[in-house]
Each structure stands twice: as structure tokens, then as C-alpha cells.
Chains A and B, each alone.
Chain A
Amino acid sequence: MTFDTLRSDTKAQMVLGLLSGIVFGFLLQKGGVTEYGVIIGQLLLTDFTVVKVMLSAVLVGMIGVYTLKWMGLANLHYKVGSVGSTIIGGLIFGAGFGILGYCPGTAAGAVGSGAMDAAIGMIGIAIGAGIFARLYPRLNRSILNKGIFPAETIPELVGIRSEVLAVGIVAVLVAGILYLLHAVGL
């Protein structure tokens, strides 16, 4: 593949990571989602900016990434989850989300916007990740592989064989939710 050389060039990838981050941070800040009040507003269901940003990204990203895949230019990257890993980890993350009021990406953006509490939050996230790394051998033996999900993807779960059809259905659903949010004025 033409992109193989670029993809395995460590230095070029560091530059690309930096550039992607600059664009990502710029967009997050312009979207207002680097603000504590906007994220807490989403979790209190009074401000739907975060969900609007996420679903718009999913809609546009999905169509492009699958198109690249169908053209043979991209590989998908996902793993099967489990009750012990995805659900328990997701709920712990959610609790942290509600207390911190930023997420790992938007915290960095918040620091760039001047919010120093987000810098403390970033230190906390690194400590939390370090605690997980210490616990990992024990958790991996005991809980992480409990209740492995029956499918890797949603189309696989519901039995849709055609990727084009699955992407089409999800695109319509996501666009529908975005339209509804807009229509009811949230």
C-alpha cells in the first residue's frame, strides 16, 4: 500500500500526531467542549453541545472511514469488549467524567484555554492510568475477561451482513437524532 512507508516512519508519525492534535484541540476549543460548564451541562442534560459534536463526528467519520476501507485504503481497529472490562470500566470513567468535568482529550484543550484545574485533572488521569497498569495482571486474571460480548460489531450482533446497509442505517439514525435535538431546541 502506498501509505505503508509513511505509516511506519516513526518521526513523520510524531509530526502527524502533533498536527492532528493541533487541529483537534482547535476544533474542541471552538466547539466550547473544553469548558467545564459545557461538559457538566451535558451531564445535567441542560446543554447538548457535547452530544452534537460527538454525533456529527461519528456521522462524518463513519462515512469517510468506511469509504476508505471499501477502497482498500484503511483498516478498521476495534476489539471485542466484555462486561468486566467495557461496562465496569465505562462506569468508573463516567464517575470520573462527572467529578472532573473534562475528558482525557478535552482536559488538554482546557489547559490550552487557561483552565489550570484541568492540568490537575490531567495529572490525576495519568495517576489513574498508572494504578490500572499496576493492577492489570490481577484484573486480567479475575475480571476483565468476564462476560465477553457475543459480537465485535453492531451489524454482527443484529445479523446485518452488508456493511453498506449497516452504515446507511446508522447514518440515518444518527442524523435523525441530531435533527430531533435541533428540532426540540436542546
Chain B
Amino acid sequence: MIEWFTAATWSPYIVGAGIGVLIWTAFLLSDRPLGCSTAYAKTAGMVETAVSREKAETMPYYQKFTPTIDWQWMLIIGILIGAFISAYISGTFSLLIVPPVFAEGFGIDPLLRAGVALIGGILMGLGARWAGGCTSGHGISGTLQLSLASWIAAICFFIGGIVVAGLIYGFPFI
């Protein structure tokens, strides 16, 4: 049992099934799907509120998604803690700035990787809110409810990702 928790990786099918069961509990106990990108909009709203409360309160988007700490915001904090526990007990925790695959392609300059990650993140945050969800909100929680928008969103996430990753690293399947 202990060996199981300290194993570096689990089968993707077991992990997926576990996430599926976690989503049952979110629907049952919290009446909500499992989604991650709303928390980022709330965080942006908290920054806007800190700069000017009056202005933030007049912004329609933050009337829809109030900049408050709630279930969704705590979810992100939890993910960070849960992943740390998993990495720590399996001995795979390692501090890095440049992931090995990126370093092989583009070198070990941390500023380059940081700049690329920032640009990618900005596009991702913009796109997630534009489409109304991310890989978990649309890609898992929405598709499992058979939502048409979520299936189309998930397909677009992968089309965009496959094209851009291919442009960056070269298309291995061509």
C-alpha cells in the first residue's frame, strides 16, 4: 500500500478513473463541475480590485465572476499542495526553470524559457476565458456531460496545441 503511494507514476487509466470519481464528488457535494481557469479570472479581478475597487466593481466580467476566494480558488491551491505531496513522497520533486525537453531544443537560458512561458500563459488565459473553460472545465467536466460546446472546445484546444507545438519542435509525424 505504502509502495503504491510512493511510486513515481501510476497508470494513466487509474489516474483518469480517480479524476472521474473526484468529479462525482464535486457534482454531489458542491453542485459544480471541476474547472481551473475561473480561479485565474478571479485572481485578475483581485488585482484590479486592489488597484481600484470602484473601477473593478463596474467591470461586467467581475460581476459575473466575483473576485472572491471560494471553492474554485482553493482548488488551485489544493492542486499545488497535492502535486507537492505526490512529488515529495515519491522523491521526484526537483526545482527547475527550464524543462529538459525545452533545454534540448532551445538551450538552458532561464530567461528564454520564462519569456516563452509568460507569452504562452497570456494566450492560454485569454483563450480559456474566451472559450469559457480549459482542459479540465471543458476538456473533462464538460465533455463528460456530453456538452457540444465542450467537445468542440476540447478539439480546438488540441488542434491549436498540435499545430503550435509542431511549429516549435517540428512535426514528428510528417
A75-B31, A109-B79 are known contacts. Are A56 and B152 too (CB-CB below 8 A)? no
The SS class assigned to the B binding surface is helix
In the complex, A60 Cα to B18 Cα: how many Å? 8
Query: Looking at the complex, which one of B20, B79, B117, B167 makes contact with A28 (CB distance below 8 Å)?
Result: B79
In the complex, A186 Cα to B149 Cα: how many Å? 28
- Set of chain A residues within 8 Å of B83, measured between Cβ atoms: 25-26, 28-29, 34, 108-113
From 104 to 118 in chain A, residues with beta carbon under 8 angstroms from any chain B beta carbon are: 104-118
- Set of chain A residues within 8 Å of B165, measured between Cβ atoms: 40, 43-44, 97-98, 101
Number of interface residues of B (CB under 8 A): 129
Q: Is the CB of B81 within 8 A of A25?
A: yes
Q: Is the CB of B29 within 8 A of A128?
A: no
Q: Is the CB of B121 within 8 A of A123?
A: yes
In the complex, A85 Cα to B39 Cα: how many Å? 19
From 64 to 81 in chain B, residues with beta carbon under 8 angstroms from any chain A beta carbon are: 65, 69-81
Q: Is the CB of A115 within 8 A of B124?
A: no
Q: Is the CB of B120 within 8 A of A129?
A: no
A100-B121, A129-B40, A129-B41 are known contacts. Are A90 and B160 too (CB-CB below 8 A)? yes
In the complex, A116 Cα to B135 Cα: how many Å? 21
- Set of chain A residues within 8 Å of B30, measured between Cβ atoms: 7, 13, 16-17, 20
In the complex, A4 Cα to B167 Cα: how many Å? 49
Q: Is the CB of B78 within 8 A of A25?
A: yes
Mark A6-27 against chain B: 1 for CB-CB distance below 8 A, else 0.
1100100111111111111111
- Set of chain B residues within 8 Å of A54, measured between Cβ atoms: 16, 135, 139-140, 154
- Set of chain B residues within 8 Å of A118, measured between Cβ atoms: 117
A104-B136, A128-B127, A131-B122 are known contacts. Are A24 and B79 too (CB-CB below 8 A)? yes
Q: A3-B31, A17-B74, A91-B127 are in contact. List 13 more A-B contacts (CB 8 A).
A: A25-B82, A54-B135, A60-B19, A64-B20, A79-B147, A86-B131, A93-B156, A94-B157, A94-B160, A101-B165, A128-B123, A130-B41, A133-B44
